Structure 1
């Protein structure tokens, strides 16, 4: 039996091969692929081969990167007709034909890159457990690359040539991770800095939402326990906050905001208005926040206690007037920065939003 593998379906795509550092020889295998539209994003969703037709594939000599990826994803090397197939499983989650155009290939390849970049001492089962957060971070990196440069005409445009990464480390990886880079960057005076070490807490992009009822001029804020104030010995670790949460892999930011509103407040959001998207703490925190005001119906009695039991969430909603929230910000009673920012943004833009909603 050959020691070469035949990569099928998602595994055979050019962006995946590039992530593994492989080139291969085009071939075909008998059968048609079904299912697997989240292949490479969800470990259990790979396509299956059914009889009929042929499927394009690539023959490769497996390297360590590919072997590690296959182990993390729990993929089996399937023997069929003296061939060793990789990228299929016995049963698919769907009977729909696998569609390359609908598959999130860029995201799957970015996740593959993160798995391959992970330190060798990180066990495959740890990386498999971390896969949902690897997906969050992979999607965050893709959005980051696609971002428009900030700073307007005050900041000189930069390129990758202005930063030299000497070494990368990951001293901690759990639900979140810590990345440490040894690097040098170009100075304003010219030349480069000496070697410096910087660390970042990797958590990924998140959405932040303040529900606003423009007819009643009310907002909803939520209250929940937070570890960081407790670590700081703050006497009030139950904070008033906006609705917020991570953007899942394969999810757009608007859908994430609406999902979090349902999970944390049982609210349906009619329309979203983007507010101030930003890095909350770019010196230490690898996180980008997408802030929104969401149009909602907030009658008396709508607030309650919600949250996902599987995430041990215990979240209480409060419906208050927008003016009261502004006064609480002015009085220093809001310790959550994004909530204060959205409240002030809404104060500036409320008349424009009312016109767009045809309320005036």
Structure 2
């Protein structure tokens, strides 16, 4: 069998089929990279399309390994019969529509490190978990794997707090008792305590949802903001009499995109709004005791005439969103009187109150004391 495309890349090839050997290139074929290449090995629907042509495709010869067989089963990859050879790593074009869709939706640069992290994650899941169940959850798994990689990259430089030394934490086991759209992880861990000794084993449950970006659209010329309101399930579950919340633009950071790219995308999807600049606000964990969610908070500079308000949201996600505009000072009043109950919006409202003069290029009042 021949591995082609991203499966022939050494990052994945060495993990899935370490004994693979170089083979003669496939001639008379070429790969349509989009949408396969950016998310190949990350999402089951984004493998490259192979079609006849005058190109050459690099290939590596291998037999089935347990890891390769399980990986192919999870991602729905099947060998293709081409020129008397079995080929793995692409799909056959199912007509002009498939190729046109590929060209329209492909974006970004393929990340071998993310593809490898996905392979490691899914191959470490219990073997008795059906491949079809894992395949259905690949988008959320990828969101979580991407968040873990981002956390390691973005926090390595932070000053150390807590007990001294490098040997401070031991993760004994990690179990996933619930895995649907979101999931719950149960961690058994030990920590070095502040007084120097080790704690006993501790069981901690964490709700896993991935990272999100929050954007408060702000017009510094008109000194006004755009908010949205929509129904939220958590207040419904709590028995809240007012489960429709004043919020602002927000959404998950998809695999392969940056928090800034997610913010710009969500502003267009939820409010049809073009953000010309993102100003970082107070990024944070909203509830680090139980939520493995990190929020990237931004103020987004935008033009907000009266006509900017309206209705938005994606029908595919059953979103029903109304947007409206109000003066920045009114947002501050609502925050101070408790009318804003959405935590990220509250943080951004108070941050903007302290920062709006600088953003507008006005001198800040000096304090004396």
The TM-score with structure 2 as length reference comes to 0.86
Matched with 2:123 is 116
Post-superposition offset of 1:238? 0.6
Matched with 1:165 is 171
Pairing 1:310–2:299 present: no
Pairing 1:185–2:191 present: yes
Summarize deviations over 1:49-95 as a string: whole Å, max 9, x none: 64545433333443333212211211112244554321122127379
Post-superposition offset of 1:107? 2.0
**Distance in 1 between residues matched to 2:220 and 2:307, nearest whole Å:** 17
Pairing 1:331–2:337 present: yes
**Distance in 1 between residues matched to 2:360 and 2:271, nearest whole Å:** 24
**More off after superposition, 340-349 vs 186-195:** 186-195
Query: 4+ runs of 1 displaced by more than 6 Å?
Result: none
Summarize deviations over 1:276-326 as a string: whole Å, max 9, x none: 111111111111111000011222243112111111111111211111111
Post-superposition offset of 1:154? 4.7
Distance 1:28 1:145, change over 3 A: farther
Pairing 1:63–2:65 present: yes
Summarize deviations over 1:134-184 as a string: whole Å, max 9, x none: 22112212211211347646556765x432222221111111111112222
Distance 1:103 1:304, change over 3 A: same
Pairing 1:105–2:101 present: no
Q: Is the 8 A contact 1:119 1:170 kept in 2?
A: no
Pairing 1:133–2:133 present: no
Post-superposition offset of 1:119? 2.6
The TM-score with structure 1 as length reference comes to 0.88
**Distance in 1 between residues matched to 2:246 and 2:87, nearest whole Å:** 53
Which runs of 5 or more residues in structure 2 are unaligned?
363-369
Question: Which of 2, 8, 11 is the matching residue for 2:4?
Answer: 8
Which runs of 5 or more residues in structure 1 are unaligned?
none
The alignment of Structure 1 onto Structure 2 pairs a total of residues equal to 348
**Distance in 2 between residues matched to 1:42 and 1:155, nearest whole Å:** 38
**Distance in 2 between residues matched to 1:20 and 1:157, nearest whole Å:** 39
Could you say what the CA RMSD is over the residues aligned between the two structures, in angstroms? Answer: 2.5
Matched with 2:365 is none
Matched with 1:45 is 46
**More off after superposition, 103-112 vs 170-179:** 103-112
Q: Is the 8 A contact 1:45 1:93 kept in 2?
A: no
- Secondary structure at the counterpart of residue 308 of structure 2: coil
Question: Which of 337, 351, 354 is the matching residue for 1:348?
Answer: 354
Distance 1:81 1:302, change over 3 A: closer
